Amino acid sequence: MRRGILEFCIVSVLADKEIYTAGLIDSLKSADLIITDGTLYPMLNRLQKAKLLQYRWEESESGPPRKYYSLTTAGVEYLSKLDTAWQDMTASVESIRRGTESE
Amino acid sequence: MRRGILEFCIVSVLADKEIYTAGLIDSLKSADLIITDGTLYPMLNRLQKAKLLQYRWEESESGPPRKYYSLTTAGVEYLSKLDTAWQDMTASVESIRRGTESE
DNA sequence: CAAGCTACCTTGCGATACAAGGTAGCTTGC
DNA sequence: GCAAGCTACCTTGTATCGCAAGGTAGCTTG
């Protein structure tokens, strides 16, 4: 029941801060959204190819370098579209869920 | 961004009334959820095989007979699980969406 | 310098939803 | 009473999403 919504969550998190993969996974986990890196890497690459994300390499103090992602200008616009779509969809589902009155 | 949620909507509509395919499509359309019959028939058959839905044939006054679907007892229980899952998921997404405060 | 950890990425699979197309019952018009 | 059209059912093929599993390579630690 989660499909397509993960992308919205990821873009939302990136709106707040520059972050790399493990941090993204932790951010979502703290909201009870479990995601694996096998899901995340293809998504980040896809969004980056679509020019919605950018990244820079940053060295780590304890391991290999990390890709820190952030939104591009187009990514910010995309987020606002996703946000509108999210609100529309939840409103629609709520209207169904609450019962569409009797027949 | 809608994946998996349609099933929840369909089961929700069926909680209120016995209905056949075209009626379901209309109910969802009136909440701005567009779905085609090519999506709906496989889903109804799948839910029926899982014993969550039952149907009876009813003759029409103007055309071929129709399959009127309704929830089984198991379907009602399933709906309550979907409803809980829906509330959990929207709560999670809202907490992400509203900004997970600064780093 | 070897072993282990971390971070990146790919591949194969199952499930969802859509578009397009197909069958058959029923009514309508001639 | 038969052809044409509508309605209702269903199937097939395709794209995409998300996951599990597996793989490469840099960095640290003993």
Using CA atoms, how far apart are residues A76 and A98, in angstroms rounded to an integer?
Answer: 33
Mean pLDDT of the B10-33 span:
96
A-to-B residue pairs, Cβ atoms closer than 8 angstroms? 104
User: Among candidates A94, A88, A40, A10, which has minimal Cα distance to B93?
Assistant: A10
Residues whose CB falls within 8 Å of the CB of residue A80, separated by 6 or more in sequence, listed in order: none
Spanning CA of B99 to C1' of D13, the rounded length in angstroms is 41
pLDDT of the residue at B99: 78
Sequence-ordered alpha helix ranges (H) in chain A: 5-16, 21-29, 37-49, 73-97
Q: Can you count the helices (H) and strands (E) in chain B? A: 4, 2
Cross-chain Cβ contact A96/B12 below 8 Å: yes
pLDDT of the residue at A19: 96
Least confident of A91-100, B59-68, B87-96: A91-100
β-bridge mates for residue A95, sequence order: none
Residue among B3, B85, B96 whose CB faces A12 most closely? B96
- The contact set of B with A (CB < 8 A) is 1-5, 7-9, 12-13, 15-17, 19, 27-28, 30-33, 82-83, 85-86, 88-90, 92-93, 95-97, 99-103
pLDDT in tens, B44-79: 999 999 999 999 999 998 899 999 999 999 999 999
Residue among B1, B16, B96 whose CB faces A31 most closely? B96
User: Is the predicted pLDDT of residue B103 greater than 90, yes or no?
Assistant: no
Q: Please, what are the domains in chain B?
A: 5-78 (1.10.10.10)
Find the closest chain B residue to A34 by CA distance: B92
